Structure 1
Amino acid sequence: MRFPPLVFLMGAAFAVTAFAGAAVAQNKAAVLIAKLPVTKDTARGYVYNDICNFYASSQADSGLYWAREAIRYTESIHWKKGIGFFHSLAGRMNNDLARYDAALKEFDTAMSIFIAIRDTAKMISTINDIGVSYMNRSRFDQAAPYFFQALSLAEAKGNKSLAAVANSNISDLYYAQSDWQRAIRYDTLAIGLYGEVRDSTGLANGYLGLANAYLKTSDTAGARTYYAKAAAMEKAVGNDFGLAEVYTNEAVTRSRVPDALAEQLRAQAIWDRVSPLHSISINNTGNIGLSYKALATADTPANRELLHKAETYMLKAIDMSRKVADSGGVAYFTGVLAELQGLMGDYKDAYENFHKYQDEEDSLHSQESKNKLAELEELHEVALRDKQIEITRLNLLAEKRRRLVLIVGLCLVGVIGVLLFFQNRARQRTNVQLRRLNKDLAAAEKVKAKFFAILSHDLRSPIAGFINFINLQRAKPDLLNAAKVAAHQQKIADYAEGLLSSMEAMLLWSKGQMESFTPESRPVPVSALFRHLAIFFAGQENLLSFVEEGELTLYSDDNYVKTILHNLTANALRAVAAQPGGRVECRAFASGGRVALEIRDNGPGMTHEQLRAIEEDRPLSQSSRGFGLHIVRDLARAIGCRISVTSEIGAGTTFHLGFAAA
């Protein structure tokens, strides 16, 4: 039987596919890298992550380069979580490149950072990765504790994704030890969890592990089923690394050598691109040589062209094994090479390679002895470290006691300091209260002086006029005729009403000067205020008018407001009493969410000196408005009323009051 044409066509097809895929990959990588200069802070870290993830499934060495670039960048911006993440990612890249010592260093750095920032999820993930490093070197007894620890932590935290990873790793561990049933059990658990969290990449890995286990139990049909599922899933997520692994393992299920070779070549086209020195890639290269050898020896005599192809792949497998220091691989593939050279009649090279094979085998056995000695030495070092740890523990215990004594002393000093602090605070509060009382006392003295000054000015005139009129009537009752008596009686009544109004206003003002009397705000209809003024100033309708724009209600103390309006209206009426065509208008309207009241007159206006009474705390001497302006000023302050006044000599005066709306 001859199959050369089929073999050559397959090789050419895979070469074209690999070239096209590489071109697309380079374009995608260029797009991702172009984003780096235009992003800043942690956003650039996420771009680095995308680049690393892209290369992780295609070129692990390039992925490692970008992971290190990401570490440098995250260190420059002091992003601890990013630094730990990219150290962990660099460790995984080193795992894929079979650089296990370098991987463990990266994981140790990442682990210390995740512990410091208390990122439990990243800690669990790193524990899994450390276990993988040991498992890839066949140190199963060291890998197992890490995987089971990761599984326990993930289950305790309820993290199904990380629990799935741990189950998958445990399955790989049992697979490596030929315990197929346990491998199937843990892979089944992993697949269930991956399905719950919808992790396509995890499902693909789970299907691949399950297929490998079924293949080992001679269930070829089951293996093919899960290889197909794994391949479909790996293609869907674009994981070339996983797809190459699927194709490599699926080749074993093919009973016909050409079919197996087709799968091997398809896998190697990907391996050469993503991770040529991976252990699976090396084994696949050797298997391709064996497949060509099987095809060559199917004919009689053997097909020399196919034997040369087999020799080429064996030499390549030997070279790859040497690069990763795999003595077992070098020995095995050298033995096959010697057999191939014997078939081709190259007995000299066959003899030399057979001796190399024996030397490698002897060296391998010698290395096993060295490994045992190294293990014993490692156990001895572990014992020494345990002793050192115990000494360190005792030292730490003594240091802890010293710290306890120091802490107790510091606590006592702290308590004394706190007591002194609060004592000082109490003294300061007492001093503040004394200063406030002194200030209040000075203000009370000031109010008293102002009060008597106002009394002397505003109450003297009406009382003096009243006394003078009584004395005139008593001394000369016939001096005034009936009309003048009536006029003077009316004037006396006006004086009495004014005096009563001033006394009421003064009482309310004096209450406003005392802290124990506070305004009681309530909704007050403007119409009720205007009715009060109309009743109080009955008989002066020809001078007084009211305008209310809508039904308005303000929120304040009605007694305070009535007193303010009464004083301002009375002052305005007095100002226009002798003015031809004199008018006083009380107007209410809404303004900026508040209620505005205006008392406007067209009297003689107020001087600058008179206007200052609204703003200053001094008596206004010789003013026709006198005490009322002080009342208005102080009561407006008490109820939070905004008051302003505009006046022009000869044109009149307008008082503007602003209140909160109800």
Structure 2
Amino acid sequence: MRIRKITFGIWVLLVLVNTGQILAQEKVASDKRLREWNIYCDKLKGIPDGKENYPELIKAAIEGIKMTPPDNFLYQSIFNFHLAGGYESTYKIDSAIRYYEISKKFAEKAKSNSRIVLALRRLAGLYDNKQWLKKGDDARNELIEIASVDKDEEIQIGANIVLGEYYFNAGRFEKALQRYIEYIKYLKIDYARHNNSASRSNIGVGYLAVGEIYQNLNRADESLAYFKESVSYLSNYNEGLETAYKDLVTSYLSLNKGDSALVYYTVLKKSVRKSGDYTILVDAQVELGRMYTSKGRLDQAEKILFEAEENAKISKEKEDYYLVKNALADLFLKQGDTKKAIKYYKQALPLAIYFKHKGVIATLYLNLATAEKKEHLENDAYNHILLYAKYTDSLKTESISKNIIEMEARFQNEVKQQRIGILNQENQAKNLQLKQEKSIRWLLGGTALISLIALSLIYMIYKNKQKANLLLDKKNQQLDITNNQLANANQTKAKLFSIISHDLRSPVSQLFTFLKIQQNTSQFSEEEKNKHRQKLIASSRGLLESMEDLLLWSKSQMENFEIDHDFIEMEQLFENTVSMLAAQIEVKNLKLAMNTERLGHLQSDENILTIVLRNLLQNAINNAYSGTQLSLISGINETGQKYLSISNAGDMIPEDKIALLLNGSSVQSKSSGYGLMIVKDLLKKLNAELSISSNKQVTQVSITFN
């Protein structure tokens, strides 16, 4: 008998292996289709030709999610990321955040740190955009944690660029410098390995960022060195190259090297006329104009600043207008043309107020008042001097507040030093007193020690006895718990084996029959052989699914069973469930109707819900009249609860039988089987309830979520 069982087990294993090979071939074909669809989505993002089509990307990403199997977490993450990118590029920020978060969740299931980092990079910026500062900080902390343990170049590059930009914008230049240097280091490793142009351009961008940090730290020589270094890496990235030229102009001017600045200005001007990005050129022209103004070369300053004014009209950037108007006003004031100076100061003021530059606003009011006084506009000059005083007082107040804080800190430090001196004197006096008391303590201590030893021995004997009693009591309690657990385990095991022996007999017998027929297929046509093979595969799958149901149910009977809530497409769930039972539906010539209009999505455990639906649909098929209709519906009832229902036309079930099915806790017959018991147990895990209604026309089974 034992040999027959072992042989049968090996035979079933071989059937499962063959079935697994067939399923593996199907998976390879599916992965190829998903890779091709991912490439198509990249193309809609403009990779590599730069021609974006974000509305089409959204549609393609949704289609990709639908075609991806629920358990393929990697491609679920990829297509949700594409969908988020489409929404972000069409300014639907809330939807973008939602799908980036879903992409991150699937990436975590796929254990893909690179996909997690990609999602976190986008989420950190979008959280800041929405002023969700706590979430933004959490995203960056998670990036730091991943980067600290995973040294993959792609992960290090992604984490360090996000953190570098954040620290730079926050004015934390030392930390930003550290992150950008790490960013450049890993980019160079990636470039040495793959030799791709994108990594090379990004190295140049990294050098630009480091140069700008040194500019903010007033370290002109170091910033100049990094700007020069960036040029050699930016040959294939024109916008970055133009930024480098502008930064070189600024650096040379700050070092009073005007001739070198003019060399790069000429190169920048030629490049901008081709690219059309006049904002960068305006910045450089304003810097040159101010240099000429400071050196008294006013004609040259006027010429280049008027050219900058025309270019600002092309760029249409407010900051460009502000920079040019302010520089021209200063030039005309120095030339003595106070009327023009007043005109341009008045044009620059609203823009300065818009950008909230208090120091610049105060200077503008002072210069405007100076020009108005020369034009004998005393009232206007007086009013503007008052406004100058107001902004100056505000700046002085901020400065005084800062000085007061520093003075208070110094005062507190002096007070602490005085307290330390007093405490040292007190300690010296106490040490002398302690020496005098030490001899007395030794005498008393000897007597106390003898008493303490005796008391300790008595106390130890008492504590040991108390510990022994407590330990014995705890062991008895543990033994009671273990006995209860053993009794429960034996009951569960007995119930499980009873169910397995009763309900697996039929599918295994069916599979055995199909295999016996397989041995004598020589008399069949090729079409009949194919049909038979399909039936064999379907039967194998059915057996696997039954075993899976039993394993999942048995697991649910044990402790530490966890529910995994997912975002479920109801139409996809219905289609997947129906496809598993398509052969039985076809045999009974049943018509199928599905309606998910009122509930298209559901947050639940997809694996458990699939098992529940498959069992209920199996029962509906078995009890339906041939040629009738099956209906699968998802919706929201009158009380606002979400529900799923399966309806079939068959024999009416009496109310007492329905009550027995819903309230019974054991297997009563083959008609009820283990399926309904599993369904009820699993629905408890989902916080859902099962209900059955039946009349002469239709029987409906419903799942209602609390």
Q: Same fold (TM over 0.5)?
A: no
TM value normalised by structure 2: 0.37
Pick the structure with greater CA Rg. Answer: 1
Higher-RCO chain (CA-CA 8 Å, sequence separation at least 6): 1
TM value normalised by structure 1: 0.40
